[in-house]
Amino acid sequence: MSADLSTILRLEVPIIVQLAERKMTLGEALALVPGSIIELPKTADEELDLLVNNRKIGTGLAVKIGENFGIEITHIGTAEEKIQAMGGGEPRSSGASEEDLDALASALLEGQV
């Protein structure tokens, strides 16, 4: 494995677990105060979205771990999809080639990375 790839794989990225999303008017948002309740268009037993770089890479169910919340992953994208999400989009012609992504995906799947 190249030193560049090893360095890249040590980078920390924010992982976001999105409960739900709702649109509201600017007036409604400005009227929010402590104690306000926002109803979300999702039931308590629906899956949550797992995002990296604000891009969905998987889904899971909310779990309680002691006093903390967690997510039990029920679906995860392919290695290539995860790499593209972390990179900010489709590979550019001057960036990683499809072969590079395939090689990285294979290395990840084989536990070499």
Q: How many CB atoms lie within 10 A of CB 85?
A: 20
Instruction: Summarize pLDDT for 42-81 with one digit per residue, the tens.
Output: 998 899 999 988 889 999 999 999 999 999 999 998 887 7
Task: Give me the pLDDT at residue 7, please.
Answer: 80
Whole-number average pLDDT of the chain: 82
- Delimit the domains of the chain by residue range: 3-18+40-109
Cβ density class 51-70: b for 16+ within 10 Å, e for less: bbeebebbbbeeeeeeeeee
Q: What would the CATH number be for the domain defined by 3-18+40-109?
A: 2.30.330.10
Which band of pLDDT confidence, cut at 50, 70 and 90, is reported for residue 9? confident
**Residue 87: beta bridge partners?**
none
Tell me which of 73 and 92 has the higher pLDDT.
73
Tell me which of 9 and 25 has the higher pLDDT.
25
